[in-house]
Structure 1
């Protein structure tokens, strides 16, 4: 069987774990005649192999995979097992990708079982679950595998019945012959196993009208029942025989170190066994641990009590002076003297010199933490020459590579088992907590679970960048915008991986900055230096959050300044339907289009304008509202998807309420509408949290927030009573695009614009707060 269960999992979790933990399958074992099931290995193909039919996206792997990828097996009873090679954190990739394969295969979804792949990119291809690219990169490879399995079953049935394969049809979980013969998938599995994998040119694909599951929105997320009932296996649910638990006192300032410590009282706590000093990484830190003192105990409670009793003197290091207020002032000053131009269309200085009127505003966003409901946790078992870990991680193979390097053992001796993620948002694309667990297991000589608390998570995470976005426009005598100038100042994610230049890099420029789609003849995009003093990391939608906040707020302010309707002003700036020509638009040669070929995923202003119209119409734009209420509008393209949000705000006794929100989503072909709606509803929660509540501040290099009482989130008493998701329909020929991240950026500016419409107060700093 593909998914045999490790015996070291606690007995009560074993049944549920069968769906969440998968051990490596050796292809030689699969091919042995003793196995009655059918295992199919398929090869990854270059993107050009998909040209004869719509791609739905192009795979961009780290390298061309040439070894067979084991994705499908069929048991004699007809059970179809499909391997999910991407991590599951609520976005639904563990459901959607197998669903596509099962549909093209003509499998009965009720007879499909899904198992999770370990970190093994040579076997499974790219496993980085980020960038909202799982469906857009793999919808076609999943279809190809399904079509291959269907063809192999067809050929096996044809040989059994002595007919031509063309005379055999494959229906729902069975093959049918010309004389009324019928055979289920289980009956055909053994014979199909010896069929050669068909060449790509030999495959036939379903017409869109024949899809059973793809595009229907009727398949619920695979793990829904287990998650709801508590049977699902997350990182902290894995228990190994003899396992120790560790918590870590990490330096309160990035780059800090332990100067001295006294662990006498800690070691006196019942259950505490050791205090181990961990080395911290020198900048750039990459995904290595921060260092500090680990308290190793027989249980979590003892470890936490022991940590509280540690007496530590810290050497704070070079970031001890980091203070949010002064840093913001420095960013604001820098935004008024940018020195790095990376988009120049037309002659922007001349446009401003000749302007009849100019208008300028600056917008601010503070640092933010990911706060997944499940804080980081990892279980590691390191022996003399091997390492096995269990953890909720978005990039299991990256973790495997770094574990091997850090421990000094061959990568083939490292195994990374992926549990469900209790939220990720980019935090769990970093695996510092796995390396902490592995180092401690190696030092202790026993399995170790490292458990982060909520306070650990908020104070020591990789932070979403802080930024100042300054926007200026030049206008002629009729109020027509003739010049657009956008300056962005923010510490860069690149500082985590390389010596810090203080400047953002091309990926960050491509997120709502250099890709401005406006129908304006003169456009300049630039930035200025901002050195990082915190670990800056990927965050859901990344730099699109501050950019959409600034740009969409600014356009609404500009409309008010000119006495214009906001929607009309926005549509005028978007201009007529067209594909933006990046060459004539003065965009840089290294323009980052979310890793996608621009000719396949261009900036399409027609699609951008259309979602604005859909969201506005759904919310009743222009209707008369009671006093203290307003509708705000915002739109943004990110991860090659177009999303507009119309939010209705109601201010009662100065408290901001958001009773209604409408999302208009154009993500190309909607492979799984149920998950699209779910992701937009989740974006409403996260977007409102970023808009009204979340903010990380620093004093003396230290994070000032620690838990949900001072780093608040949207709660059930102020979540919209109504979140409507309007999906723009497209046929399969329109490439599927991203969905996990694009819903977040327009939410905050839509709320901010609605607050202005309701109260006349313009707020320019994120978070806004809950009162006006």
Structure 2
């Protein structure tokens, strides 16, 4: 079938005005095969500097947060519609979502729609980083226009062939019909003629009325990879295989910054199947996404490589972080949180409000390091032939992998191909392609032979890019009615910037904009401060990132203030949010705003109120609870989406916690695939429970103390809520901007749970994970 071949964009093709849709030359692109192929791109950024990829810029995001992505859409002679997806599918369903957006406007037969995964190539496809919950919201209107433009071109081709007016022709289910004459043609029969037509101007393309959508917003199609995944046919990184392939694992320094002083591989080389042992150099500064260094064992099987690694005799220099201790570092963070820090938002006079208030309340909240722990550990296959390195891997940032591999091998990027498989989870870990470089270096050491580099779960837990540890200190002054007159929040946490620049010890704008400085409460006097916090491990992206500690602290503190005021916590939270209004985030000092235009994406407190009201109403807020049971609620705005969680918690006489029911409400704007939104919210609840109850990475002598899922506990099926209800707040206007979905569900889960625990027991939880705190 012609829809499977790979294609490239000829150098002669210029972007259409505004950088929208280009009809790529059929002959130049497909070598004479009959097909219609469109290349779609987002408009260029107004500021050229903003569009340039950067390792780590002022906005705090890697590789250029400003998107300029492109996608190819083709219709082959047999009518197959192929969409090339440059973003990675981690289970969030982006491959399906993009197909839905285009197929609906194209009026394509869903059975004929195929998705091809793009390789890492930023020049061809634009920014390919799959992060920030933005792959759908940044593409929605552009994908619709692409599908509508292709549909119009097919109609024009039929009208020209039949000699009839455009208005008499209808396209539906991959067939173009002329009712008056009874003639019809399939898309495949028209693709060649349509490819010879000019692409219609954007203003001439009429999008469908949302009431006529067949796929968008319906949630009835499943996912394009569903059969392959459920039957085991889907390929992940560890599934790639070649005849004669070798296998590798790496012994890495247990302490971040550690190096190999010396090693003896004599016993390792005696292990049956071990072929070679090589040293991998430690990273240069700044570390970014480079491998940690160490010693790689290459063998004829993964098992042999692992047994050989056990026999390595390595003398390590633990380096500058050898004394890192979680408990001691927490005390340092708490000390910093109790002193003034860098002011990142200030309005009114907090000191005056505190000085005159009849009552003051303060609290400190702690969130430990966390590991992304995707179910599929990191793996990559590398093979070098004729000076060209081919990679097969599960990665969130294929272009970053390509660039890093090229640099480490000393070749041009054109000599590196990164083939992206499905991802068995990522949560930010697979946006850091250190493991891909390790595979390439091992292949190089074996004269280009194919090598599969595999991380174990222990490797993942011990050598990750961890979510930051955090201490959040909040203080508030209350008036006679218990309403805050002043609000002080000090957030102390090592920053992701620490892997990009020496001396980075303050949270960056994108971290501060995750629920801290853009806190929308109607409080007259507010000050946020950010004291310094050095990093002693690699800090990286984690699902919802700094929203986790900020939401946990703020939403827990609101419930504490409600108790101090003798008020219902849900009513008190809504009163703090205030009446429905639209807030320019820049007026709060948030110039990042999740990378979005504040005019298109202001903070809408009415939408935040609605998700809180929806979740709390659904769970039966205010109903009489039996002894040991309580309800808690929390709401949060992140990734330009509004979510709220209401949780029912039961605590028995021994302090054991169960969570029988959770209701989660989300307003993400227009919905492309509601079923995947529900799945993401259900997953967010289960993941958020794990963060609240059991998950923690602790360090002693610079070493992670957890090894596998016996120590780093995730929520298991027997502990998951028996009932998770997802409430999608629909926004009927599909011309409205979309919000994110993959990440916003996590932040309100933990505070809703601890607030419910207080309602059930009267005991306040201020540190995560809860573990046995209620059993003490």
> Which of 402, 405, 411 does residue 404 from structure 2 map onto?
402
The offset of 1:64, in angstroms, is 8.3
How has the CA–CA distance of structure 1 residues 203 and 46 changed in structure 2, closer, same or farther, with 3 Å as cutoff?
A: farther
Equivalent residue, structure 2, for 1:110: 111
How has the CA–CA distance of structure 1 residues 63 and 488 changed in structure 2, closer, same or farther, with 3 Å as cutoff?
A: closer
Deviations 1:619-642 (A, max 9, x none): 000000111111110100000000
Deviations 1:375-421 (A, max 9, x none): 00011112453211011011111211222222221111211100000
Equivalent residue, structure 2, for 1:164: 165
8 Å contact 2:584–2:598 — kept in the other structure?
no
8 Å contact 2:100–2:672 — kept in the other structure?
no
How has the CA–CA distance of structure 1 residues 63 and 642 changed in structure 2, closer, same or farther, with 3 Å as cutoff?
A: closer
Equivalent residue, structure 2, for 1:616: 616
User: Does residue 517 of structure 1 match 2:520?
Assistant: yes
The offset of 1:438, in angstroms, is 0.9
Equivalent position SS for 1:735: coil
How has the CA–CA distance of structure 1 residues 678 and 650 changed in structure 2, closer, same or farther, with 3 Å as cutoff?
A: same
Deviations 1:701-731 (A, max 9, x none): 0000010111111111111111111111102
Equivalent residue, structure 1, for 2:33: 35
Structure 2 distance, partners of 1:726, 1:240, is 46
The offset of 1:45, in angstroms, is 2.8
8 Å contact 2:3–2:80 — kept in the other structure?
no
Equivalent residue, structure 1, for 2:297: 295
8 Å contact 2:3–2:81 — kept in the other structure?
no
User: Does residue 482 of structure 1 match 2:485?
Assistant: yes
How has the CA–CA distance of structure 1 residues 514 and 375 changed in structure 2, closer, same or farther, with 3 Å as cutoff?
A: same
Structure 2 distance, partners of 1:94, 1:771, is 42
Higher mean displacement: 328-337 or 373-382: 373-382
User: Does residue 374 of structure 1 match 2:372?
Assistant: no
8 Å contact 1:215–1:670 — kept in the other structure?
yes
Structure 2 distance, partners of 1:344, 1:65, is 35
8 Å contact 1:45–1:64 — kept in the other structure?
no
Structure 1 distance, partners of 2:517, 2:296, is 44
> Which of 463, 487, 503 does residue 500 from structure 1 map onto?
503
Structure 1 distance, partners of 2:340, 2:398, is 39
Equivalent position SS for 1:216: coil
Paired residues for 1:187-586 under 5 Å? 187-383=189-385, 385-445=387-447, 446-582=449-585, 585=587
How has the CA–CA distance of structure 1 residues 571 and 743 changed in structure 2, closer, same or farther, with 3 Å as cutoff?
A: same
The offset of 1:481, in angstroms, is 0.8
Equivalent residue, structure 2, for 1:9: none
The offset of 1:192, in angstroms, is 1.3
Structure 1 distance, partners of 2:27, 2:262, is 54
Equivalent position SS for 1:135: coil
8 Å contact 1:608–1:635 — kept in the other structure?
yes
8 Å contact 2:256–2:538 — kept in the other structure?
yes
Equivalent residue, structure 2, for 1:21: none
Deviations 1:427-457 (A, max 9, x none): 0011000011111111221121110000000
Structure 2 distance, partners of 1:734, 1:515, is 22
Structure 1 distance, partners of 2:625, 2:392, is 53
8 Å contact 1:41–1:71 — kept in the other structure?
yes
Give unpaired runs (5+ residues) of structure 1: 7-25, 49-59
Structure 2 distance, partners of 1:473, 1:675, is 40
Equivalent position SS for 2:250: strand
The offset of 1:660, in angstroms, is 0.5
The offset of 1:331, in angstroms, is 0.1
Equivalent position SS for 1:469: strand
Equivalent position SS for 1:137: coil
Structure 2 distance, partners of 1:523, 1:285, is 37
The offset of 1:739, in angstroms, is 0.3
User: Does residue 606 of structure 1 match 2:606?
Assistant: yes
Structure 2 distance, partners of 1:367, 1:32, is 50
Equivalent position SS for 1:567: helix
8 Å contact 1:607–1:666 — kept in the other structure?
yes
Structure 2 distance, partners of 1:99, 1:629, is 43
Equivalent position SS for 1:754: helix
Structure 1 distance, partners of 2:144, 2:662, is 35
Structure 2 distance, partners of 1:503, 1:203, is 48
Paired residues for 1:3-82 under 5 Å? 3-4=4-5, 31-32=29-30, 34-46=32-44, 71-82=72-83
Structure 2 distance, partners of 1:570, 1:723, is 23
The offset of 1:5, in angstroms, is 9.5
The offset of 1:499, in angstroms, is 1.0
Structure 2 distance, partners of 1:467, 1:757, is 25
Equivalent position SS for 1:471: strand
8 Å contact 2:381–2:439 — kept in the other structure?
yes
Structure 2 distance, partners of 1:118, 1:383, is 18
Deviations 1:625-672 (A, max 9, x none): 111111110100000000000011112342111111001101011121
How has the CA–CA distance of structure 1 residues 581 and 165 changed in structure 2, closer, same or farther, with 3 Å as cutoff?
A: closer
The offset of 1:562, in angstroms, is 1.7
8 Å contact 1:83–1:98 — kept in the other structure?
no
Equivalent position SS for 1:664: strand
Structure 2 distance, partners of 1:47, 1:289, is 33
The offset of 1:4, in angstroms, is 4.7
Deviations 1:510-552 (A, max 9, x none): 0111011010000001111110000000000000001111111
**How many correspondences in the alignment?**
737
How has the CA–CA distance of structure 1 residues 5 and 242 changed in structure 2, closer, same or farther, with 3 Å as cutoff?
A: farther
Equivalent residue, structure 1, for 2:95: 94
Structure 1 distance, partners of 2:213, 2:533, is 51
How has the CA–CA distance of structure 1 residues 70 and 662 changed in structure 2, closer, same or farther, with 3 Å as cutoff?
A: closer
Equivalent residue, structure 1, for 2:639: 639
The offset of 1:65, in angstroms, is 5.9
Deviations 1:91-129 (A, max 9, x none): 010100111001010001122111111112222222111
Equivalent residue, structure 2, for 1:55: none
8 Å contact 1:248–1:295 — kept in the other structure?
yes
Equivalent residue, structure 2, for 1:717: 718
Structure 2 distance, partners of 1:70, 1:663, is 33
Structure 2 distance, partners of 1:98, 1:654, is 48
8 Å contact 2:26–2:32 — kept in the other structure?
no
